[in-house]
Amino acid sequence: MSKPQPSFNMADFMNPSGGSQIKKEETTTESTTAAVPGKKGLILGPDGKPCRTCNSLTDLLAAAAATGKAPAPTTTTTTTTTSVTTLPADCPPDVETLGRHTWTLLHSITATYPTVATPEKQQEMSMFLDIFGRIYPCWFCAGDFRKWKEENKPKLETRQDFGDWMCRAHNAVNKKLGKKEFDCRFWEERWREAKDGRCG
Ligand SMILES: Cc1cc2nc3c(=O)[nH]c(=O)nc-3n(C[C@H](O)[C@H](O)[C@H](O)COP(=O)(O)OP(=O)(O)OC[C@H]3O[C@@H](n4cnc5c(N)ncnc54)[C@H](O)[C@@H]3O)c2cc1C
């Protein structure tokens, strides 16, 4: 069966408005061009096409709208005070949706980790983190995660240590994106044992 042909030119997808995503230099061998610091435009994947899981929906839609291939992005007010551009639920994830769901998985893994882990469990988790850093679908996010992990060796002896380590890993990304850092004293309350009745 033949592969579907792309219905766009690469130049069509250079984002004229720049956008909010951090554009990172290539950090892995499997990645490609275009993501040069200071250069405006969508981040490309290994196939030379815009990488959906590396760009925000806002940027993807703005680029598509600029070429008349999609309507201009709309914003929706969520239950918080934040206005966000939202995807229909059956669309593939952008960098933000993928990130949000992945952090839920990663913090939930730490929250259910043994209080004191056996050497085997620690080895298993170490392998998981290595593989995660290689396969995460946003290639430059994965590269930065690997670099951070190299400089901050995973602490896998206890749940408390591992949860705190993951919280600091997440904060490194928050900091990079200019977001507020989370107070890691409260990671367990956030991801394991909510203190008030709202969470059941
Ligand atoms: C490994 C990894 C690397 C990433 N790298 C990039 C990147 O380079 N560029 C990019 O644009 N996006 C990146 N992302 C996505 C980014 O981190 C966010 O997930 C995305 O921007 C959506 O953010 P959010 O504000 O909804 O909350 P998220 O950051 O997704 O957080 C979800 C929830 O986790 C809680 N939380 C926040 N910080 C912490 C913490 N430190 N510890 C515990 N709980 C916390 C809060 O309750 C928050 O609502 C990455 C994601 C992952 C998993």
Six-digit token string for 17: 């408005």
Ligand 1, CB within 6 Å, residue ranges: 21-22, 95-96, 99-100, 102-103, 107, 136, 140-141, 144-145, 167, 170-171, 173-174, 176-177, 182, 187, 190
Distance 99 CA to ligand 1 centre (A): 6
Assigned superfamily of 95-199: ERV/ALR sulfhydryl oxidase domain (1.20.120.310)
The pTM assigned to this predicted structure is: 0.79
Nearest to 152 by CA among 124, 137, 139, 133: 133
Ranges for all domains in the chain classified under CATH 1.20.120.310: 95-199
Could you list the pLDDT tens digit for every one of the 200 residues in the chain? Answer: 333 333 333 333 333 333 333 333 333 333 333 333 444 689 988 888 889 899 988 888 888 888 777 666 555 544 444 556 677 889 899 999 999 999 999 999 999 999 999 999 999 999 999 999 999 999 999 999 999 999 999 999 999 999 999 999 999 999 999 999 999 999 999 999 888 778 88
Question: ipTM greater than 0.85, yes or no?
Answer: yes
Give, for ligand 1, the residue of 54, 103, 168 to mutate: max count of ligand atoms closer than 8 Å to Cβ: 103
